[in-house]
Amino acid sequence: MKRIIIDSTLCDGCMKCVDACRDHFPDGESRLLIRRDAKGRHVPLICRQCPKPSCMQGCMSGAISYCSETGHLAYNKEQCGRCYMCVMNCPYGIPFPTKEGHVARCDFCGDEKEIPRCVESCEKRAIYLEEG
């Protein structure tokens, strides 16, 4: 399974990854966030595809599951009960409620064969793919 890896020491806060992610989703909301740490450095934040995901364990409706085709976490908004336990359980603060009320989370740009847009757009290689 490919995973998106972050090297925040290389991030300069250009926001190209955020823009690329925003362009991928019909609601126009990026699933990737850039925050500043205590030292003022830029830190990209995206779903870590945790081996034991707290978001999935907290999901009472079963809307978050592993996709058998890709091995990545998948979200079914029709099945979502909108309790936001996934949002509250994520230690990284990644999934968040959208304006429409469903949960926004990375979908790895929907195709395992494709390089996710955030990775593709990061000229500094602060965001890259790793086989894991």
78-113 confidence digits (pLDDT tens): 999 999 999 999 998 889 998 889 999 998 887 655
Is residue 69 very low, low, confident or very high in pLDDT (cuts 50, 70, 90)? Answer: confident
- Strand 127-131 to 73-75 pairing: unpaired
How much is the pLDDT for 49? 86
* Rounded Cα–Cα distance for residues 110 and 26 (Å): 13
Structure tokens, 3: 């995973």
SS3 112: coil
Q: What is the rounded average pLDDT for all residues in the chain?
A: 91
Is residue 6 very low, low, confident or very high in pLDDT (cuts 50, 70, 90)? Answer: very high
